[in-house]
């Protein structure tokens, strides 16, 4: 899908152009090196506090004995018995740490008192699939087991994320349903990265700012590892799933010029066909991650407001039903 400069929302054009200067001339090898450099830079933000929120670090022991760092965000005066939100950060599965997405946690907590648990899951540049999925699911189980300690309801957990984190959201949601160990009441996969095949119109030959067909292909190759161009599990690329019944209600949105447009639409349609309630909006002139790249743009404000409104509805209704 060809994307012209005029197709981009006016308030998003400049930042999209500036960001593209970093990656427009990258080769696959340079992309990997860039991800490694970004990892080093972002690691300096670990442990960063957020004004108005309580933030603590916890450690989960994996099966191999290694430790998984988890960031827990709470309101300063939590009443207890609150919704628990597992939030999985974006970054193409190859970069990012929980602290970089603190604005999202603050919006969620200010909208409705809740506890946000964000794992610093293993990135694909060091450990491909299923490492990130395992870390995400282990965190979900940890939340259920430590619900009283966290001040949340063990039977009222929500999962969300953006981009690759949204892909993990969809994967964890399917995995939890199939395993039957924990209940997920609501899913929030925002513009999810869920289809490695890249066969949709929006995913082919897309050169929009921020994320395009080329970077998408490189990221999938890193994440899938030994599964790349082989039989890819549905928990790695949830767009390959065929069973959607008994999944939780959802909210998602996507820009109309980004590579994940069509796979997001298809995910929504699959949920609806299975009788699952979904709140969905598509925003004109928006590239990937527009709400993060320029949160002050009017279209970004609309997208964020839409997402938060749906989250509040979920807390007030799905949460209330299980009290």
pLDDT digits (tens, 9 = 90+) for 13-34: 999 888 877 665 567 777 777 7
Burial-class residue 254 by CB neighbours within 10 Å (0-12, 13-18, 19+): buried
Helices in 76-228 by DSSP H: which ranges?
A: 102-111, 131-145, 147-150, 164-179, 213-224
Whether residue 45 is predicted with pLDDT greater than 60 in this model: the reply is yes
Cα of first residue to Cα of last residue in the chain, in angstroms, is 47
| The pLDDT value given to residue 197 | 97
Of all residues in the chain, what percent are helix, strand and coil, respectively (each to 5)?
Answer: 45, 20, 35
Question: What is the tally of structural domains in the chain?
Answer: 1
* Residue range 89-134, pLDDT digits in tens: 999 999 999 999 999 999 999 999 999 999 999 999 999 999 999 9
Of residues 172 and 4, more confidence is placed in: 172
Q: Cα Rg for the chain, rounded, in angstroms? A: 18
Please report which confidence band the pLDDT of residue 46 belongs to, taking 50, 70 and 90 as the band edges. confident
| The pLDDT value given to residue 235 | 98
Is residue 294 within 8 A of residue 313, CB to CB? The reply is no
Please, which residues bridge with residue 157 across strands?
A: 84, 184
Residue 156: in which H helix or E strand, if any? strand 152-162
Domain coverage including residue 174: 5-321
Nearest alpha-carbon partner for 79 in 158, 141, 153, 145: 153
List Cα–Cα distances, 256 to 7, 21, 263, in angstroms: 9, 22, 12
Please report which confidence band the pLDDT of residue 192 belongs to, taking 50, 70 and 90 as the band edges. very high
- CATH number, domain of 291, equals 3.40.50.1820
Of residues 22 and 281, more confidence is placed in: 281
Average pLDDT, the chain: 93
| The pLDDT value given to residue 23 | 63
Question: Cα separation of 252 and 90, whole Å?
Answer: 14
List Cα–Cα distances, 86 to 38, 139, 156, in angstroms: 24, 8, 11
């Amino acid at each position: 899908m060809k994307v012209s400069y005029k197709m981009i929302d006016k308030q998003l054009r400049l930042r999209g152009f500036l960001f593209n200067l970093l990656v427009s001339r990258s080769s696959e090898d340079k992309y990997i090196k860039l991800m490694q450099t970004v990892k080093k830079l972002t690691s300096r933000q670990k442990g960063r506090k957020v004004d108005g929120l309580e933030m603590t670090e916890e450690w989960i022991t994996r099966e191999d004995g290694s430790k998984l760092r988890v960031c827990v965000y709470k309101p300063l005066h939590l009443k207890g018995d609150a919704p628990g939100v597992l939030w999985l950060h974006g970054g193409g599965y190859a970069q990012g740490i929980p602290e970089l997405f603190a604005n999202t946690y603050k919006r969620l907590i200010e909208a409705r008192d809740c506890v946000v648990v964000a794992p610093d899951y293993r990135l694909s540049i060091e450990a491909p699939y299923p490492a990130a999925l395992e870390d995400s699911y282990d965190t979900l189980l940890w939340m259920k087991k430590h619900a009283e300690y966290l001040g949340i309801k063990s039977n009222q957990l929500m999962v969300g994320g953006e981009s690759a984190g949204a892909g993990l959201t969809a994967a964890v949601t399917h995995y939890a349903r199939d395993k039957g160990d924990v209940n997920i009441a609501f899913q929030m996969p925002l513009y999810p990265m869920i289809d490695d095949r890249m066969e949709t119109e929006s995913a082919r030959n897309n050169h929009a700012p921020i994320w395009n067909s080329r970077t998408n292909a490189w990221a999938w190759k890193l994440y899938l590892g030994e599964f790349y161009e082989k039989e890819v599990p549905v928990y790695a690329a949830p767009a390959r799933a065929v069973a959607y019944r008994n999944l939780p209600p959802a909210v998602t949105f996507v820009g109309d010029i980004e590579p994940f447009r069509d796979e997001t639409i298809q995910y929504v349609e699959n949920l609806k066909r299975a009788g699952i309630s979904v709140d969905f909006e598509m925003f004109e002139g928006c590239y990937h991650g527009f709400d993060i790249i320029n949160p002050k743009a009017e279209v970004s404000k609309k997208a964020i407001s839409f997402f938060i409104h749906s989250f509040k509805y979920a807390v007030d209704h799905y949460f209330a039903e299980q009290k």
